[in-house]
Amino acid sequence: MATKNIENDQSHLRRSLVLTGGGARAAYQVGVLKAVADILPVSMRHPFGIIAGTSAGAINATALACYADNYRNAVYEIENVWKTFTPDKVYRTDPVGVLVNMARWITGLFVPMPHRAVSLLDSSPLKVLLEHQMAFENIQENIDQGFIRALSVTASGYNSGHSVAFFQGTPDISSWKRFQRVGLRTSLSVQHLLASAAIPTIFPATRINREYYGDGAMRQLAPLSPAIHLGAEKVFVVGVSGNRSAPQIRRPTEGYPSLAHIGGHLLNSVFLDSLEYDVERLEKINDSLEMIPGHVLDKHGVHLRPIECLVISPSQCLDQIANRYAYTLPPTIRFFLRGIGATRSSGSSVLSYLLFERLFCNDLIELGYHDAMEVKDSIAAFFAD
């Protein structure tokens, strides 16, 4: 770790980075983070003091926090991992592993197996990768040295139904509880990342303390909430939804939707929709606060403040990009995905979540970099405190 060498201006501790979920789509975030590194002056080594991640975004967020003493070096290391990704680094792709796991999953539909993880894919390789890449002991050291204020990783409790933001941060931050969402102080570990990235039915749930947890995007109605609770006054959001790209033309349906088409629709509703709603809600609150004089708010004890928010999201449809690279998947996975219709254009949403393959990831990194550079003036203004 580097010795303490942060900006005299501590305003970065109130700037937050929010990284959402979406499996392999999270490669897009790396391109945006790389662009931020190129846009900001070299002297700004710590642009984000609060980092909040969900699902695969939690993995990127944690990597940044582990190496927060130098943002550019952290982004460089994250990019190297994504640029060399192969599916077997995330889940088992060998024929025996795939067949055994699917057999267990099918059996689990008819025979309860309460003491055995049941999922379509075995994510044990991801655990090995995270244990090798993440220096979790650095997180608290970086907090103590003032490089970051807090890191949050969100997962969804299968028993409680709560969206739980596990966080590690400065002593002044308190845990919180709201309707269906809580914030719990803890020492973050690989278990929290596996839980946050456990796409429902595809990857196994992970037990943390007394409960099993799955993907943090599930039931996360307010993805900006953890960052705000941790003290954010500015929020920089990197989404993985293509909602801002050209709307899809409604065409006549030629046949019954495939399993992948239906599954992709469900996954999109889990991963992509809540962010847009939460950002819209934040903007409406900001507009309302601007209409009310500050002394009136103080008089009535209303402790609300406008929160600046900048959102970067894909300008192109990631499903269509994924469809171009379906052929790069291992034969076992390709056979399974073809069977459920995921290799057809209508089912490529599922494909985009599982395509941890370097060609696809490199395309998404380049797209993220391009999209961020298109709004570089807005990004520079966001960091101009």
pLDDT digits (tens, 9 = 90+) for 133-153: 999 999 999 999 999 999 999
Higher pLDDT, 100 or 77: 77
Residue 276 domain-assigned (yes or no): yes
Residue 231 domain-assigned (yes or no): yes
Residue 249 domain-assigned (yes or no): no
pLDDT digits (tens, 9 = 90+) for 340-365: 555 555 555 778 888 999 999 999 99
Which residue is listed with tokens 């690279």? Answer: 325
CATH number at residue 98: 3.40.1090
Q: How many domains does the chain have?
A: 1
Question: Residue 228: which domain range?
Answer: 10-242+259-382
**How far, in Å, CA of 370 to CA of 34, rounded?**
10
pLDDT for 125 beyond 80: yes
Residue 37 domain-assigned (yes or no): yes
Q: Which residues of 307-332 are buried (b: 16+ CB within 10 A; e: fewer)?
A: bebbbbbbebbbbebbbebbeebbeb
Residue 86 domain-assigned (yes or no): yes
**How far, in Å, CA of 15 to CA of 12, rounded?**
5
pLDDT for 266 beyond 70: no
Residue 203 domain-assigned (yes or no): yes
Q: What is the mean pLDDT of residues 370-374?
A: 98
- Contact present, 265 and 56 (Cβ < 8 Å): no
Residue 3 domain-assigned (yes or no): no
pLDDT digits (tens, 9 = 90+) for 4-25: 444 445 767 889 999 998 889 9
The mean-pLDDT minimum among 26-40, 72-86, 124-138, 339-353 falls in 339-353
pLDDT for 90 beyond 60: yes
Q: Which of 107-111, 177-181, 227-231, 326-330 has the highest mean pLDDT?
A: 227-231
Quickly state the pLDDT bin for 98 (edges 50, 70, 90).
Answer: confident
pLDDT for 58 beyond 60: yes
Residue 21 domain-assigned (yes or no): yes
pLDDT digits (tens, 9 = 90+) for 187-217: 999 999 999 999 888 899 999 999 999 998 8
Taking alpha carbons only, the member of 154, 160, 314, 175 closest to residue 239 is 314
**How far, in Å, CA of 115 to CA of 197, rounded?**
21
* Amino acid at the residue 54: T
* Amino acid at the residue 52: A
Q: Report in angstroms the alpha-carbon separations of 265 from 253, 262, 271, 336.
A: 15, 5, 10, 18
Please give the mean pLDDT across all residues of the chain. Answer: 85
pLDDT digits (tens, 9 = 90+) for 288-309: 888 877 766 676 666 778 899 9
